[in-house]
Amino acid sequence: MGIRNFFDRIEPHFTHGGKYEKFFPIYEMVESFLYTPKTVTKVAPHARSYVDMKRIMTYVVIATIPCILIGLYNVGLQTNTAMEVHSASGWRVWLLDLLGVGFNPENPIANFLHGLLYFLPIYIVTLVVGGIWEVIFATVRGHEVNEGFLVTSMLYALILPPSAPLWQVALGISFGVVIGKEVFGGTGKNFLNPALTGRAFLYFAYPAQMSGETIWTPVDGFSGATALSVSASEGFTELATRGIDWTSAFIGTIQGSIGETSTLACLIGLGFLLITKIANWRLVVGCLGGMIGFSLLLNWIGSDSNPMFAMPWYWHLVTGGFAFGLAFMVTEPVSASHTNVGRYIYGALIGFMVVMIRVINPAFPEGMMLAILFGNVFAPLIDYFVVQANIKRRAKRNA
């Protein structure tokens, strides 16, 4: 009650006419983070619902927890395993030595803490830099700081490699927030996913730090290809020779971005979002249908020169960022289609595109990021044609 009374006491200083009026977005951001917003609609229509923006964003962040936990463990596992052959130095090594944890890959605590030391700086930089941009735009425009950035910051940090330079992390989230969202009016008005926009910017601006075989395990001298990279060059049947089987890919103990490797964790998060009705199941069905259907077609066609034609759909599911994108990006309500039929089409388009990019385009072993951004661009057009088709059908019925 003391904190609540404190906010009530200082609120007049930040509202209209107060001496700190221009800083109201900062006040509102802190207050709404701690308490349920007091705002209500003042004009018709009125709708009473237990679901508000804070609840939606909180649920999405909760859904990412399995990805965070397994991601931290896997980053530490890959790093500690590599350090058995390649020496490493730096403040992380010093801190873990000081704590007496060690670098044994068979020790879950050592793996988790080592992964945390890579994830935490990335997330802190993302939160601080992206938060500054959010506050700047909210202050200039005179509106509240939206909770949507909490989701953007978490998703953005999870789709980065653990070795990402922190200055590039800051640059990428700046591009994602400003160009991917704020220039279009802020949360709810962006047609591109801000987290993916920032990641795509880094991918094309700094490919050496965002792709290849040396970025997934942050140990100097260590090189480890992702499952998709091996499949593209040698065929998915060669994954076993690299120590990658379907189970390890499903659980997430393979090379990859921090939070994308575990299909199991992604499906747990997706299940939570579907149960709470934050995610629309039509988007999921459409995406899975497009991916499975097109991969089966390519399996049937076959190719003597391209080993990716032979990759079955269940390997596409557990490699790269497909499961993470399916759970948290495809189902993102703002940039996806909003009509029921359009959701099927939108999801199917992304599922089709990710397989086409992975298999037919040799420049990109991964394809989920580009497929989702491509779907974002076409989502308004898909909804337009669905609505027009409904209008014509009703007009014909009433003629």
User: pLDDT per residue over 254-273, tens digit each?
Assistant: 999 999 999 999 999 999 99
Higher pLDDT, 57 or 290: 290
Render the burial of 67-79: b for 16+ CB within 10 Å, e for the rest.
bbebbbbbbbbbb
Average pLDDT over residues 7-29: 64
Average pLDDT over residues 130-150: 80
Identify the CA nearest to 4 among candidates 30, 25, 23, 26: 30
Angle between helices 108-141 and 166-178 (to 10 degrees): 40
Average pLDDT over residues 98-126: 91
Are the beta carbons of 119 and 157 closer than 8 angstroms?
Answer: yes
pLDDT in tens, 349-374: 999 999 999 999 877 778 899 999 99
pLDDT of residue 42 exceeding 70, the answer is no
Higher pLDDT, 218 or 270: 270
Q: What share of the chain is helix, strand, coil (3-state, %, to 5)?
A: 65, 0, 35
Identify the CA nearest to 191 among candidates 375, 32, 363: 375
Identify the CA nearest to 288 among candidates 351, 205, 219: 351
pLDDT of residue 334 exceeding 80, the answer is yes
Identify the CA nearest to 206 among candidates 166, 179, 233: 166
Higher pLDDT, 43 or 290: 290
Average pLDDT over residues 94-103: 82
pLDDT of residue 166: 96
The mean-pLDDT minimum among 20-29, 248-257, 279-288 falls in 20-29
Percent of the chain with pLDDT over 70: 85
pLDDT of residue 31: 61
pLDDT of residue 38: 57
pLDDT of residue 263: 97
Mean pLDDT of the chain: 87
Integer Cα distance of 385 and 248 in angstroms: 42
The amino acid at residue 208 is: A
Give me Rg for the CA atoms of the chain.
23
pLDDT of residue 232 exceeding 80, the answer is yes
Average pLDDT over residues 221-247: 87
Split at pLDDT 50, 70, 90, the class of 39 is low
pLDDT of residue 47 exceeding 60, the answer is no
Average pLDDT over residues 191-212: 91
Split at pLDDT 50, 70, 90, the class of 90 is confident
pLDDT of residue 44: 47
Domain boundary assignment for the chain = 1-36, 53-224
